[in-house]
A and B are shown apart, each in its own frame.
Chain A
Amino acid sequence: MSPTETEDEIATIAKRWKNKRGSLIMALHGLQDRYGYVPREAAMSLGEQMDVPLARIYEVLTFYNYFRLESPGNQVVSVCMGTACYLKGAPQLLDRASESLGIKPGETTPDGEFHLQVVRCVGCCGLAPVVTVNAKLLAKVTGESLEAHLLKPGTAEDVKA
Chain B
Amino acid sequence: MTETIQATINSLPVEVAAGTTILDAARQVSVHIPTLCKHPDLDATAACGMCIVRVGSSAKMLRACCTPVEAGMEITTEDPEIIHVRRTVIELILSKHPNECLTCGRNQNCELQTLAADFGLREICLDSIVPDLPVDSTTRAVVLDPRKCITCGRCIQVCQQIQNVWALSFLDRGIDTRIAPAGDISLADSPCVRCGQCSAHCPTGAIVEYDESQEVWDKLLDPDAYCVAQLAPAVRVAIGEAFGFPVGTNLTGKTYAALRRMGFKAVFDTNFGADLTIMEEAHEFVGRFGNPNSVLPLITTCCPSWVDFMEKFHQDMIPHFSSCKSPQAMVGALAKTYYAEKMGLDPAKVYVVSVMPCTAKKFEIIRSKEMHSSGFWDVDVSLTTRELARMIKQSGINFRALAEEQPDHMLGAYTGAGTIFGTTGGVMEAALRTSHYLLTGENPARMEFLKTRGLEGVKEGKVEIAGQEIRFAVAHGLGNVETVLTRVREARDAGTEPPYHFIEVMACPGGCVGGGGQPYGVTDKLRAKRAAGLYQDDQAGLWRCAHENPYIQMLYEDFLGEPLGEKSEQLLHTSYFPRATYRR
Choose, from A12-20, A54-62, A131-139, the stretch at the interface: A54-62
Q: Is A110 an interface residue (CB 8 A)?
A: no
Query: Shortest Cβ distance from A152 into chain B, in angstroms?
Result: 33
How far, in whole Å, are A55 and B167 apart by their CA atoms in the complex? 7
**Interface size grouping (class) on chain B:** 10 to 19
Q: Is B120 an interface residue (CB 8 A)?
A: no
Interface positions of B from 159 to 192, Cβ below 8 Å from A: 160, 166-173, 181-183
B169 touches A56 (CB 8 A): yes
How far, in whole Å, are A156 and B170 apart by their CA atoms in the complex? 38
Total residues of chain A contacting the partner, CB 8 A: 13
Give the chain A neighbours of B182 by CB distance below 8 A: 53-55, 57-58
Query: Shortest Cβ distance from B498 into chain A, in angstroms?
Result: 25
- The B contact surface, by secondary structure, is loop
Q: Is A84 an interface residue (CB 8 A)?
A: no
Taking A54-B166, A56-B166, A57-B182 as contacts, is the C-beta distance between A62 and B171 under 8 angstroms?
yes
Q: Is B289 an interface residue (CB 8 A)?
A: no
Give the chain B neighbours of A54 by CB distance below 8 A: 166, 182-183, 582
Give the chain B neighbours of A69 by CB distance below 8 A: 183
Give the chain B neighbours of A53 by CB distance below 8 A: 160, 166, 182
Q: Is A66 an interface residue (CB 8 A)?
A: no
Query: Shortest Cβ distance from A107 into chain B, in angstroms?
Result: 13
Give the chain B neighbours of A44 by CB distance below 8 A: 582
How far, in whole Å, are A76 and B181 apart by their CA atoms in the complex? 29
Query: Shortest Cβ distance from B268 into chain A, in angstroms?
Result: 40
What is the 8 Å Cβ interface bit string for chain A, positions 44-81, against chain B (1 contact, 0 not)? 10000000011111110011000001000000000000
A62 touches B166 (CB 8 A): no
Taking A44-B582, A53-B160, A54-B582 as contacts, is the C-beta distance between A59 and B169 under 8 angstroms?
yes
Give the chain A neighbours of B169 by CB distance below 8 A: 55-56, 58-59
Q: Is A40 an interface residue (CB 8 A)?
A: yes
B172 touches A63 (CB 8 A): yes
Q: Which of B172, B181, B584 contacts A55 (CB 8 A)?
A: B181
Give the chain A neighbours of B173 by CB distance below 8 A: 62-63
B160 touches A55 (CB 8 A): yes
Query: Shortest Cβ distance from B171 into chain A, in angstroms?
Result: 4
What is the 8 Å Cβ interface bit string for chain B, positions 573-584, against chain A (1 contact, 0 not)? 000000000101
Interface positions of A from 72 to 115, Cβ below 8 Å from B: none
How far, in whole Å, are A56 and B168 apart by their CA atoms in the complex? 9
Give the chain A neighbours of B160 by CB distance below 8 A: 53, 55
Query: Shortest Cβ distance from A127 into chain B, in angstroms?
Result: 35
How far, in whole Å, are A135 and B535 apart by their CA atoms in the complex? 75
**Taking beta carbons and an 8 Å cutoff, which residues of B are in contact with A?**
160, 166-173, 181-183, 582, 584
9 shortest interchain CB distances as A-B pairs: A55-B169, A53-B166, A58-B182, A55-B166, A54-B182, A62-B171, A55-B182, A62-B172, A59-B169
